[in-house]
Amino acid sequence: MTYKEIVVKLSDTATRADMEELTEITDEFIEGMRKSHPEDVQKLLMKIDLLLNPMFTRETAEYAVSKMKNEDGTEGGHWDYDTTTSVLKSKGYDFNPCDWYYVLNMVYSDYFTKDQPDDYYFKLAYDFLKDKDAPAGKAKKYFLAMHS
């Protein structure tokens, strides 16, 4: 029997206590797997988190930024969370600060050009998030599409 089959069968008759027990069993397994397969566990939790929250949380954004391999030869974020939040407020942009943190670092990572001013990256990040054709949660969906 697959996990999906178990959940479907259980969902027909499950009580809250049954679901709490299933959650406990699943959590114990996942945390056990984290020791030997931390990246796989993080990817799974990111996908589950997407079902619950289409936007980045600070934790998921910081994880995503930590995995960046930047065109300038560095790894991780170019700007920290507090700096990007400060820029967001100073510009008066109305974005989720966690999405902004990820996207601003992502455009720097992918489009780094020597001697470009910070405003160049701010504009790219703004345009990415302001895309009229984009679905809600574009930033997180983009990350998951690039890393699944």
Tokens of 46: 């990111």
Is residue 13 in some structural domain? no
* CB neighbour list of residue 71: distance below 8 Å, 6 or more residues apart: 109, 110, 111, 112
Task: Yes or no: say if 105 and 125 are a contact pair by the CB < 8 Å rule.
Answer: no
Q: What is the tens place of the pLDDT at every residue in 20-37?
A: 999 999 999 999 999 999
The number of residues in the chain equals 148
User: Which of 48-52, 53-57, 111-115 is least confident?
Assistant: 48-52
Is residue 45 in some structural domain? no
pLDDT band at 47 (very low <50, low <70, confident <90, very high): confident
Structurally, the chain folds into a number of domains equal to 1
DSSP 114-137: TT--HHHHHHHHHHHHH-TTPPTT
Is residue 30 in some structural domain? no
- Domain of residue 85 covers 54-146
Burial state string for 9-46 with b = 16 or more CB within 10 A and e = fewer than 16: eeeeeeeeeeeeebeeeeeeeeeeeeeeeeeebbeeeb
Is residue 31 in some structural domain? no
Q: What is the tens place of the pLDDT at every residue in 8-17?
A: 988 889 899 9
Give the separation between CA 63 and CA 42, rounded to whole angstroms: 9
Task: Yes or no: say if 140 and 60 are a contact pair by the CB < 8 Å rule.
Answer: yes
Is residue 3 in some structural domain? no
Is residue 78 in some structural domain? yes
**Using CB atoms within 10 A of its CB, is residue 6 exposed (0-12), middle (13-18) or buried (19+)?**
exposed
Is residue 84 in some structural domain? yes
Alpha helices per DSSP H over 1-117: 3-13, 16-36, 38-52, 58-66, 81-91, 97-111
Q: What is the tens place of the pLDDT at every residue in 86-130?
A: 999 999 999 999 999 999 999 999 999 999 999 999 999 999 999
Is residue 20 in some structural domain? no
